[in-house]
Amino acid sequence: MRLMPAGTAAVLAEVADLEEMMALYRGLQQARDTPEGHGITELVPAVRTVLIEFDAAITTARRVAAIAAEQSLATVSDGAVDVLTIQAVYDGVDLDATCAELGMTRAAFVQWHTGLSWRVAFTGFAPGFGYLVAPGHTASIPRLSEPRTRVPAGSIAMADHFTGIYPSDSPGGWRIVGHTDHLLFDVDRPEPVTLTPGTAVRFEVRP
């Protein structure tokens, strides 16, 4: 793990890979709720980093770095989590190409995708967009050679090792495999964003 100052009130922790980042993030979430973690105000995960923001009036960069260094794959537990079920229709314009890439029929793909336990690794790109990963998904799905200028909100798409759901109409280069009516971002809600880092997700075929 590499620990670097990020301004006067944040530490950036860089690790080897996505799996280690997710374990570190979970560990820091748990540590934040302990007396030792008092003063940590925000955790911002990315592919291989977690930005740890803190209140400099309460704790120090040295203490925050020490807390981060204490976390490891061996000591972090997932704990009990609620699972968000998203009803999906697998009818995307890139579904057949994605099935061919994976060597699956449509039926096998749907069974595979709905059978995986997905989790939001981190968010980005657009408000409400979560990068979902699953232990059983190891194939790297190529992005489109030319991104589309408009991808409809609710589109379920895949690229690299991720599944994502477009929360609003936007350009995009991921392969669209389906869609959902589940609202992922609404500025009028008390909590505008549905998917946050660590959220467990299960896809279900819409009746």
pLDDT band at 207 (very low <50, low <70, confident <90, very high): confident
pLDDT band at 82 (very low <50, low <70, confident <90, very high): confident
For residue 74, what pLDDT is reported?
A: 46
Domain at 2-70: CATH architecture: 2-Layer Sandwich (3.30)
Instruction: For the chain, give the percent of residues with pLDDT over 90.
Output: 88
Average pLDDT value for residue range 13-18: 93
Q: Which of 25-34, 95-104, 158-167 has the lowest mean pLDDT?
A: 25-34
For residue 144, what pLDDT is reported?
A: 96
Domain ranges of the chain: 2-70, 83-205
Bridging pattern class, strands 148-151 and 170-172:
antiparallel
φ and ψ of 29, to 5 deg: -60, -45
The secondary element (H helix, E strand) that includes residue 205 is strand 200-205
Just give the CATH number of 83-205: 2.40.100.10
For residue 44, give the 3-state DSSP assignment: strand
pLDDT over 90 at 6, yes or no: yes
